[in-house]
Amino acid sequence: MQNFIHNIPTQVLFGKGQIENLTSVLDRFGKKVLLTYGGGSIKKTGLYDDVMKRLNDGGFTVVECGGIDPNPRITTVEKGAQLCKENEIDVVLAVGGGSTIDCSKAICAGAYYEGDLWQMVLHPETIKKALPLVDVLTLAATGSEFDIFGVISNMETKEKIGSKLGFPAVSICDPTYTFTVPANQTAAGSADIMSHIMEVYFSQRENSDMSEGMCENILKSVIKNLPIALKEPENYNARANLMYASTLGCCGMPGYGKDLSSWSCHGMEHELSAFYDITHGVGLAILTPRWMEHILSDKTVGRFARFARNVWGLEDSDEYELAKKGIQALYDFFKESGIPMTLTEIGIDEEYFEKMAEDAVKYGGLEDAYVPLTKEDVVAIFEACL
Amino acid sequence: MQNFIHNIPTQVLFGKGQIENLTSVLDRFGKKVLLTYGGGSIKKTGLYDDVMKRLNDGGFTVVECGGIDPNPRITTVEKGAQLCKENEIDVVLAVGGGSTIDCSKAICAGAYYEGDLWQMVLHPETIKKALPLVDVLTLAATGSEFDIFGVISNMETKEKIGSKLGFPAVSICDPTYTFTVPANQTAAGSADIMSHIMEVYFSQRENSDMSEGMCENILKSVIKNLPIALKEPENYNARANLMYASTLGCCGMPGYGKDLSSWSCHGMEHELSAFYDITHGVGLAILTPRWMEHILSDKTVGRFARFARNVWGLEDSDEYELAKKGIQALYDFFKESGIPMTLTEIGIDEEYFEKMAEDAVKYGGLEDAYVPLTKEDVVAIFEACL
Three-state DSSP string of A201-212: HCCCCCCCHHHH
Are residues B300 and B321 part of one domain? yes
* Within-domain flag for A4: no
Contact in structure between A264 and A159 (CB atoms under 8 Å): no
* Within-domain flag for A302: yes
From A223, which residue of chain B is nearest by alpha-carbon distance? Answer: B209
At residue B159 the predicted structure's pLDDT band, cuts being 50, 70 and 90, is: confident
Are residues A191 and A63 part of one domain? no
pLDDT tens for each residue of B348-363: 999 999 999 999 999 8
Are residues B100 and B160 part of one domain? yes
* Within-domain flag for A90: yes
Binary contact (B5, A12; C-beta < 8 A): yes
Please report, for residues A60, A286, A301, the alpha-carbon distance to residue B220 in angstroms, rounded to integers and kept in the order given.
49, 33, 24
Question: Is the dihedral angle over the CA atoms B202, B203, B206, B212 positive or is it negative?
Answer: negative
Binary contact (A237, B3; C-beta < 8 A): no
Which DSSP letter does residue A380 get? H
* Within-domain flag for A363: yes
At residue B205 the predicted structure's pLDDT band, cuts being 50, 70 and 90, is: confident
Which pTM does this prediction carry? 0.96
Contact in structure between B251 and B146 (CB atoms under 8 Å): yes
Q: What domain range includes position A160?
A: 11-177
Q: How far is B162 from chain A (nearest CA, A)?
A: 24
Are residues B154 and B194 part of one domain? no
User: Is residue A179 within 8 angstroms of chain B, CB to CB?
Assistant: no
Report, in this order, helix, strand and coil percent for chain A, each rounded to 5. Answer: 55, 10, 30
Q: Averaged over B164-170, what is the pLDDT?
A: 98
DSSP readout, A265-291?
Answer: HHHHHHHHHHHH---HHHHHHHHHHHH
What's the complex ipTM? 0.95
pLDDT for residue B216 is more than 90: yes
Which DSSP letter does residue A68 get? P
pLDDT for residue B219 is more than 80: yes
Determine the pLDDT at residue A39. 87
CA A316 to chain CA mean position, Å: 33
**Cα B235 from Cα B244, distance rounded (Å):** 14
Which chain A residues in 12-41 lie under 8 Å from chain B, judged by CB atoms?
12-18
Closest CA to B95 of B152, B37, B134, B177: B37
pLDDT for residue B291 is more than 90: yes
Binary contact (B257, A214; C-beta < 8 A): no
Interface test with B, best of A20, A207, A210 (most B CBs within 10 A): A210
**Cα B216 from Cα B220, distance rounded (Å):** 6
Domain count, chain A: 2
Q: How far is A207 from chain B (nearest CA, A)?
A: 7
Determine the pLDDT at residue A236. 98
Are residues B257 and B148 part of one domain? no
Which chain B residues have a beta carbon less than 8 Å from that of A217? 210, 213-214, 216-217
**Cα B271 from Cα B161, distance rounded (Å):** 10
Are residues B260 and B160 part of one domain? no
* Within-domain flag for A3: no
- The shortest CB-CB distance from A1 to any of B10, B210, B240 is to B240
Are residues A193 and A78 part of one domain? no
**Residues pairing with B164 in the sheet:** B149
Question: Rounded mean pLDDT of chain B?
Answer: 96
Which chain A residues have a beta carbon less than 8 Å from that of B10? 6
From A214, which residue of chain B is nearest by alpha-carbon distance? Answer: B214
Domain boundary among B120, B155, B177: B177
Output phi, psi for A154, to 5 deg. -115, 100
Domain boundary among B161, B177, B193: B177
pLDDT for residue B366 is more than 80: yes
- The shortest CB-CB distance from A3 to any of B9, B18, B248 is to B18
- Number of inter-chain CB pairs under 8 A, A vs B: 116
Which chain B residues have a beta carbon less than 8 Å from that of A209? 220-221, 224-225, 241
Window from A44-58, A198-212, B64-78, B188-202 with minimum mean pLDDT: A198-212
Output phi, psi for A41, to 5 deg. -65, -30
pLDDT for residue B207 is more than 80: no
From A169, which residue of chain B is nearest by alpha-carbon distance? Answer: B7
Are residues A245 and A157 part of one domain? no
Are residues B199 and B117 part of one domain? no
3-class DSSP assignment, residue A52? helix
Are residues A212 and A92 part of one domain? no
* Within-domain flag for B262: yes
Q: Averaged over B210-215, what is the pLDDT?
A: 96
- The shortest CB-CB distance from B1 to any of A3, A17, A241 is to A241
Contact in structure between B111 and B79 (CB atoms under 8 Å): no
* Within-domain flag for B3: no
* Within-domain flag for A41: yes
- The shortest CB-CB distance from B12 to any of A5, A10, A237 is to A5
- The shortest CB-CB distance from A241 to any of B7, B9, B210 is to B210
DSSP readout, B67-118?
Answer: -PPSS-BHHHHHHHHHHHHHHT-SEEEEEESHHHHHHHHHHHHHTT--S-HH
Window from A292-296, B203-207, B266-270 with minimum mean pLDDT: B203-207
Q: What is the CATH number of the domain that holds B266?
A: 1.20.1090.10
Are residues A203 and A153 part of one domain? no
pLDDT tens for each residue of B302-357: 999 999 999 999 999 999 999 999 999 999 999 999 999 999 999 999 999 999 99
Residues above pLDDT 70, as percent of chain B: 100
Binary contact (B1, A175; C-beta < 8 A): yes
Which chain B residues have a beta carbon less than 8 Å from that of A170? none
Q: What is the CATH number of the domain that holds B19?
A: 3.40.50.1970
List of chain A residues with pLDDT < 70: none
Closest CA to A169 of A368, A344, A25, A292: A25
Are residues B190 and B172 part of one domain? no
Output phi, psi for B20, to 5 deg. -55, -25
Domain boundary among B119, B146, B177: B177
Burial (CB count <10 Å: 0-12, 13-18, 19+), residue B236: middle
3-class DSSP assignment, residue A237? helix
CA torsion angle for B234, B240, B243, B249 (degrees, to 10)? -140
